[in-house]
Structure 1
Amino acid sequence: MRIALIEPDRRHAEMVVRLLFAGGHACQHFISGKSFLAHAVGETFDLLLTDIRPGDLAAEDVIPLARQILPGLPVIVLMTVPRESEIVASLRAGADDCLSKPVRGPEMLARVDALLRRAGVLRPSNRPRNVFGDYAFDTSGGVVAFRGERVELTPKEFLFALLLFTNLSRPVSRAQIRENVWTHSRDVKSRTLDTHACRLRAKLQLRPENGYSLTPLYGYGYQLDRVGAAHADPQPGSVNERITETL
């Protein structure tokens, strides 16, 4: 996952970056809150680690500003001498967790992973067949059917669509889409993601009259929602049977 670190202490920042890299995460270091906020407008992150006094802004000011740019961004606040008043202020400002400095590697990684599990996207299951209402995904063949009719998708469109359906009503960041769909090439332009999302909306007929809405989240990613009553679960023996025959 992509993690942003706001840490004025460069020596401590270097240690945190190394620990996160060893834990399988990419980390970008910022020396101040304002520099992070300016960069976040055109970038995506899965979690924010910030010092309680990140140079120019207090953590309790950075957190709400960060979430205006990146909705739902998980946050851990770092404190040299944790005081109850500071912990309370950070949690009330929206922090999800607090850690003492200098960090202890195993504890930090465990807390980061736990928070990402709670807040991050769900990865598609390993089941050979996944059904979401009128949509059926055959993961073994990379085939999807809508109301019993096969829909032609490219391999990346299939992975993108399955990721969105697996995370129904949850925001999925561009970084998470790149990681799950473009696994061997993370340097994918935003326009490429937008083009794939547009094709999915058209090919899978993701429209309110069919019970779904695919919404771009400005500067963050995409969210697929179930809307209205049009998409009631099919009764056994109807649509599901036709889907089975198609796949």
Structure 2
Amino acid sequence: MRIALIEPDLRHAEIVGRLLLAGGHACHHFAASAPFLAGAEHEFFDLLVTDAFCGDAAAEDVIARVRQLLPGLPVVALMSAPRESELVAMLQAGADDCLSKPVRGPEMLARIEALMRRAGIRRPRNRVREMFGDYAFDAGRSIVSFRGQSITLTPKELQFALLLFTNMSRPVSRAHILETVWSRRRDVRSRTLDTHASRIRTKLELRPESGYTLTPLYGYGYRLDRIPVDNPDSADKPAPTERIVETL
């Protein structure tokens, strides 16, 4: 996942960044809130981790601004030996969780994973074969089988498709897609992601008539939904006539 970190303490920021990297996340550090907020509407993040003091503003004020710009962005606050009243104030300000400084790696990663689960973000499981309804994924051969046919995908198309099917009916952010499939956002243009989404839609026949829709979410990402399909045969059949049996 792509995580933004607002931390004026450069030494602690380096520690947090290494721990997040070890946990499979990408950390983008900001020494103050201003540069983060300046690009918040255009950058893509799955989570914000912020110090109680952001270098140029209190976290409570920054969180209020974040809630206006990115209402659904989960926020974790870092606090040094906080009192109960300070924890309560931070949570009431809009933080989803709080961690004591200096952070403890396993606890931080576990809390982040729990928070992302509550936010509805899931990662594809590390298995060679996966089944999602009538779609069978063979990651070893990059083949997807469905409705009597087998389609070969490129490795990145397969990872992208697996991410969508794993998060069925859940919005998946561009940040999560880019970090999961391409590892680094800087290496990939937005158009590349959209092109891959279009290819997946075509190759896997993710169309309403087939029972699926792959919807682009403007400014956020994509969502794959399974929808009911009308049976044309049943529509053509006349309704059964009622038989009345008289008893004598």
Give the TM-score, by structure 1 length: 0.75
1:139 and 1:23 mapped to 2: Cα distance?
Answer: 23
Deviations 1:68-88 (A, max 9, x none): 655643321012342333322
Q: CA deviation at 1:7?
A: 1.9
Q: 2:239 aligns to what?
A: none
1:12 aligns with 2:12: yes
* Correspondence 1:121 to 2:135: no
Matched, 1:98 2:105: no
Deviation at 1:195, TM superposition (A): 0.8
Corresponding residue for residue 230 of structure 1: 229
Asked if structure 1 preserves the Cα contact closer than 8 Å seen for 2:2 and 2:179, the reply is: no
Q: Which moved more, 1:21-30 or 1:158-167?
A: 21-30
Please list the CA deviations of residues 99-146 of structure 1 after superposition, one character each: whole Å capped at 9, or x if unmatched. Answer: 123334454344335445554422234152x33233232333222233
User: Match of 1:111?
Assistant: 111
Aligned partner of 1:157 in structure 2 is 157
Q: Check 1:150–1:113 CA distance in 2 against 1; reply closer, same or farther (3 A cut).
A: closer
After superposition, the Cα gap between the structure-2 partners of 1:181 and 1:60, relative to the gap in structure 1 and judged at 3 Å, is same
Larger radius of gyration: 2
CA, structure 1 residues 68+170, in 2 after alignment: closer, same or farther (shift >3 Å)?
farther
Task: Report if the CA contact (8 A) 2:164-2:224 is conserved.
Answer: yes
1:177-188 alignment runs, 5 A limit:
177-182=177-182, 187-188=187-188
- The answer to whether structure 1 residue 203 and structure 2 residue 212 are counterparts is no
Q: Residues 70 and 142 (structure 1 numbering): CA distance in 2 closer, same or farther, change over 3 Å?
A: farther
1:174 and 1:89 map into 2 onto residues whose CA distance is 32
**3-state DSSP of counterpart to 1:36:** helix
Contact 1:69–1:220, Cα closer than 8 Å, also in 2? no
Matched, 1:88 2:88: yes
Instruction: Please state whether the residue corresponding to 2:90 is helix, strand or coil.
Output: helix
Native 8 Å contact 2:75 2:97 kept in 1: yes
Q: Report the CA distance shift for 1:149/1:67 in structure 2 as closer, same or farther (over 3 A).
A: farther
Give the partner amino acid of 1:149.
Q
- Identical amino acids, percent of aligned pairs: 67
Structure 1: give runs of 5+ residues left out of the alignment: 233-247
Residue 231 of structure 1 and its aligned partner are, at CA, apart by 8.6
Number of aligned positions between the proteins:
230
Instruction: Provide closer, same or farther for how the CA distance between residues 126 and 105 of structure 1 changes in structure 2, counting only shifts above 3 A.
Output: closer
Post-superposition Cα deviations, 1:161-196, rounded to whole Å, max 9, x if no partner, equal 122101112232333323433359972222111110
Give the corresponding residue for 1:235. Answer: none
Query: Where does 1:33-72 land on structure 2 (aligned, <5 Å)?
Result: 33-63=33-63, 65-66=65-66, 72=72
SS in 1 for 2:160: helix
Structure 1 window deviating more from structure 2 (146-155 vs 61-70): it is: 61-70
Question: TM-score by structure 2 length?
Answer: 0.75
